[in-house]
Amino acid sequence: MNVVNLSDYQQFSSEKMKKNNMFETSRFFCDIYCFEPGQEQKGHIHGEQDKVYLVLEGQGTFQVGSEKQVLSAGQGTMAPAGEEHGVKNHTSQRLKVLVFVSPNHS
């Protein structure tokens, strides 16, 4: 059994949002995205992948389709395949987001 500690996957980068991969198979992947204040993942589309965002720490502005909403720790949302989605850390605090994507097309 592969047991992980979330604290081992929470590295940040001063240059851009950092993706920290925890699990990956041919069917899905699970990352922790770490955003310094002001960093963002610009809106983009996955044609055949669903993506789930769960906020672990901080607050961020999440976009799914034409909607934007601020989510806080303990909240989450899903971007269905084909919907534009993105995240921005609009605050002065760090943002940590648990991300699941299925299926994996890397």
Token pair 């992947």 is found at: 29
> Distance between CA 39 and CA 61 in Å, rounded?
11
**What's the pLDDT tens digit per position in 80-101?**
999 999 999 999 999 999 999 9
Angle 1-12-49 from CA coordinates, rounded to 5°: 60
Q: How many CB atoms lie within 10 A of CB 27?
A: 8
List of domains in the chain: 23-98 (2.60.120.10)
What is the model's pTM?
Answer: 0.94
Angle value at C-alpha 97, between 85 and 64, nearest 5 degrees? 15
What are the tens digits of pLDDT across the range 48-81? 999 999 999 999 999 999 999 999 999 999 999 9
Confidence of residue 104 (pLDDT cuts 50, 70, 90): confident
- Check whether 106 has a pLDDT greater than 90: no
For residue 33, give the amino acid letter: Y
